[in-house]
Amino acid sequence: MKVHILDDWFDTLRGLPCFAKLDAHEVTVWTDHAPDPAALAARVQEADALVLFRERTRITADLLDRLPHLKLISQRSVYPHIDVDACTRTGVLLCSNMHSGTPSYAAAEHTLALILASYRQIPDQVASIRAGQWQSGVGRTLRGRTLGLYGYGRIAQAVAGYARALGMTVQWWASDDGRARAAANGEQVAASRHSFFATSDIVSVHVRLKPATRGIITADDLAAMAPRSLFVNTSRSGLVETGALETEVAQNRIFAAIDVFDTEPLTDPAHPLLTARNVLPTPHLGYVTEDEFDLQFSDIFDQINAYADGAPIHMINPETWTTP
């Protein structure tokens, strides 16, 4: 099969053990981003299969209509960036391993890294010493603080383990079902939503983005947070009400550590979340490690080989598949 891999910005996959799974295929790797559907379609016109790097490229009906040879899209995890109905209409099978029971430890680790870096002012301290000015301020200790985790899922539970190892108290808020599961497991669930935001020194969001969760973190939630508290988002920007975080941090009352943005890649240095001194931004690094890539793309390449063998796995729109 002619396999095209999109958005491998640092040409990482060729050097990973999992890449050998594609030895039987003709592989093209694109190391830059092509957001225009017409330009992208011209690049991958001969592709039998597209491999996606999470949500870096949107797969729209406009794009699919320009790719008559495309048979398969292979990726991992959720797919809000893919028009599944258009895939089905154009005869393109979408395969995506939902990796039940396997959290992204890379994302959990990055959450902890952002919390530590923000509390200890690491970016500012590094800039200070490089400028020959030694210390630039005084950070804060995490031990004894309360970490509020919004969403009782796999990544949040991994973060909770790291926090407890540092001597932090962990409390939870989530959907009705999530709070019930947390309580059943002996976890500390906040008495109310308002109490959760008001009494957490740090709030970290770990929820999947879908129509029901879009904008689930509101301006009122952020306003309820105590002065000098920290809001962390390594999940999806769309979970926060549009403009609410920008408005809140502009008041210079709380801090934020953000790995996700409404527009990605975000290359506007004047964006308010990049210029605010009380915001620590990183460019969607949560899942970006060699180890995580090898894990994820091993699954993705298995899906390609299964399709080539006539026995597709992890089908999202199985009605598209017809046995040869």
Active site residues: 236, 264, 284
For β-strands 169-173 and 230-233, DSSP reports them as unpaired
Question: What is the distance between the alpha carbons of residues 65 and 247, in angstroms, rounded to a whole number?
Answer: 40
Burial 186-219 (b: 16+ CB within 10 A, else e): ebebbeeeeebbbbbbbbbbbbebeeebeebbeb
The two tokens of residue 268 are: 């506007």
Question: What is the distance between the alpha carbons of residues 210 and 207, in angstroms, rounded to a whole number?
Answer: 9
Strands (E), 46-101: 49-51, 72-76, 93-97
Place of tokens 């959760």: 196
Burial class, 135, CB count within 10 angstroms (exposed 0-12 / middle 13-18 / buried 19+): exposed
Of the candidates 265, 311, 305, 324, the residue with the CA atom closest to the CA atom of residue 51: 305
User: Which conformational region is residue 265 in: left (phi greater than 0), alpha (psi within -120 to 50 degrees), or beta?
Assistant: beta
